Amino acid sequence: MTTFAYLRVSTDQQDLDNQRHGILEYANNHRLGPLEFVEDAVSGRVGWRERAVGELLLETASEEDLVLFAEVSRMGRSTLQVLEMLETCMKRGLTVHIAKQRMVLDGSMQSRITATVLGLAAEIERELISQRTTEALARRKAAGKPLGRPKGRTAISLKLDPNGSPSPRPSGSGVSVGNDAHGSANGNPDLFDWHAKEMLVGTTVCRLPWLA
């Protein structure tokens, strides 16, 4: 069995030291060592599955391993994130200790009841978020305000981004951006937006297999 200690790295060194101190003190009092620290430097605004804690809970830790957190607030920025993380731990058979709150989820009957309650709470939270979003959109529509991304603003990421940059075709055998867009299965707007983002509008590009 491995005991992992999760640390949320921040720009505040004192906060990081406090987390580490709290975890070490708790581990010593409960004889949980030795500890394998996992430091997470990614912003809490990023979904927990895309952060180091996601890799820890979903891949690295195995059944019967123990995961120690300094406190609930260092797990995630929203109640839903924290509930989903704890629910995942229970499903994967991981024992969770939260030092500051003295919370232990260890597979006991009490823990299973707690896990069930957490799962229900997470589902309720998801429903409430969905309801609030639907109501907010309905109010905007009733007020005559536009929905979705403002007209003229391009997306931060595009469907073609993961496919990489198009390669220049030898001189005299090129395909225009317009022809490439019309021939793309992704549709004209997507390819024009991608070329605009990559500052390739007006250049000659090679038609790649994924654009056929």
Q: Which of 39, 33, 50 is nearest to 10 (CA)?
A: 39
- Tell me, what's the pLDDT at 110? 76
- Domain assignment present for residue 142? The answer is no
Residues 118 and 169 in one domain: no
- Tell me, what's the pLDDT at 15? 78
Cβ neighbours, 10 Å, residue 3: 17
Q: Is 136 exposed, middle or buried (0-12, 13-18, 19+ CB in 10 A)?
A: exposed
- Domain assignment present for residue 76? The answer is yes
Q: Could you tell me which residues come within 8 angstroms of residue 134 by beta carbon, excluding any fewer than 6 positions away?
A: none
What is the number of structural domains in the chain?
A: 2
Backbone angles phi, psi at 66, to 5 degrees: -115, 135
Spans of the chain, pLDDT less than 50: 165, 167-171, 173, 177, 180-187, 200-205, 207-208, 210-212
Residues 20 and 99 in one domain: yes
Q: Which of 193, 115, 182 is nearest to 160 (CA)?
A: 193
- Structural domain of residue 71, as residue ranges? 3-125
- Tell me, what's the pLDDT at 74? 82
Residues 92 and 172 in one domain: no
- Domain assignment present for residue 85? The answer is yes
Residues 120 and 166 in one domain: no
Distances from the Cα of 120 to the Cα of 5, 80, 126, angstroms: 27, 11, 10
- Tell me, what's the pLDDT at 171? 47
- Tell me, what's the pLDDT at 176? 53
- Tell me, what's the pLDDT at 201? 46
- Domain assignment present for residue 70? The answer is yes
Bridge partners (DSSP) of residue 104 are: 97
DSSP state of 200: -
Q: Which of 4, 11, 16, 8 is nearest to 57 (CA)?
A: 4
- Domain assignment present for residue 170? The answer is yes
Residues 172 and 112 in one domain: no
